Structure 1
Amino acid sequence: MGGVALTAAGSSGITTRAAVPLLETGTMDWLSPVSGFVGTVVGAGVSYFATRQAQANTVADARQARLQAKQDQAVTALAAAFGALHQHARHVPNDRERWTGNEEAAALRATCDTWNEQLQNHIAPARIAIGVIRDSHLRHRLDEAMKLLETWNSGLENAFHGRDRVWLLRGIIAHAVDCVGAWQREEPLPEPNHAFARARDSLATKEDEWEAEAEAREEERQRRAAAPGD
Structure 2
Amino acid sequence: MEQFLLVMLGAIVSFIASYFAHRWEAKRAKSERLEGRQDAAVAALSEAFVRIECHLRSMPWEPDPPPKTGPDVIREEVREEYYLQAREWGTVLNDSLGPAKIAAYVVRNDELRERLLRTLELLENWEEIDRCTPIRRQWTFQAVTEHAVECMGAWRRGDPIPRETGAFTVAWKEWERSNQSEMRRMLRARLRNPDGLGPRSEASDE
The one-letter amino acid of 2:83's match is R
Distance in structure 2 (CA, Å) of the matches to 1:222 and 1:229:
16
Distance in structure 2 (CA, Å) of the matches to 1:161 and 1:61:
52
User: Could you list the runs of 5+ residues in structure 2 that have no partner in the other structure?
Assistant: 67-73
Distance in structure 1 (CA, Å) of the matches to 2:130 and 2:193:
28
Q: Percent of aligned positions with the same letter in both sequences?
A: 27
Distance in structure 1 (CA, Å) of the matches to 2:34 and 2:134:
45
Taking structure 1 as the reference length, what is the TM-score of the superposition? 0.78
Question: Which of structures 1 and 2 has the bigger CA Rg?
Answer: 1
Q: Contact between 1:81 and 1:126, CA under 8 Å: does it hold in 2?
A: yes
Taking structure 2 as the reference length, what is the TM-score of the superposition? 0.87
- The alignment yields a C-alpha RMSD, in angstroms, of 2.1
Q: Contact between 2:65 and 2:78, CA under 8 Å: does it hold in 1?
A: no
Distance in structure 2 (CA, Å) of the matches to 1:198 and 1:210:
18
After superposition, the Cα gap between the structure-2 partners of 1:92 and 1:224, relative to the gap in structure 1 and judged at 3 Å, is closer
Q: Compute the displacement of 1:75 (Å).
A: 0.9
Partner of 1:131: 105
Matches within 5 A, 1:30-179: 34-99=1-66, 100-154=74-128, 156-157=129-130, 161=133, 163-179=135-151
Q: Compute the displacement of 1:223 (Å).
A: 8.6
After superposition, the Cα gap between the structure-2 partners of 1:221 and 1:199, relative to the gap in structure 1 and judged at 3 Å, is same
Higher relative contact order (CA 8 A, sep 6+): 2
Aligned length: 194
Q: Compute the displacement of 1:164 (Å).
A: 2.3
The one-letter amino acid of 1:217's match is A
User: Could you list the runs of 5+ residues in structure 1 that have no partner in the other structure?
Assistant: 1-33
Distance in structure 2 (CA, Å) of the matches to 1:161 and 1:201:
16
Give 1 or 2: higher helix fraction.
2
Q: Deviations over 1:169-196 (max 9, x none)?
A: 1111011011111111222221222221
Q: Deviations over 1:1-34 (max 9, x none)?
A: xxxxxxxxxxxxxxxxxxxxxxxxxxxxxxxxx1
| Residue 176 of structure 2 is aligned to residue 204 of structure 1 | yes
Using the TM superposition, name which of 91-100 and 112-121 deviates more.
Answer: 91-100
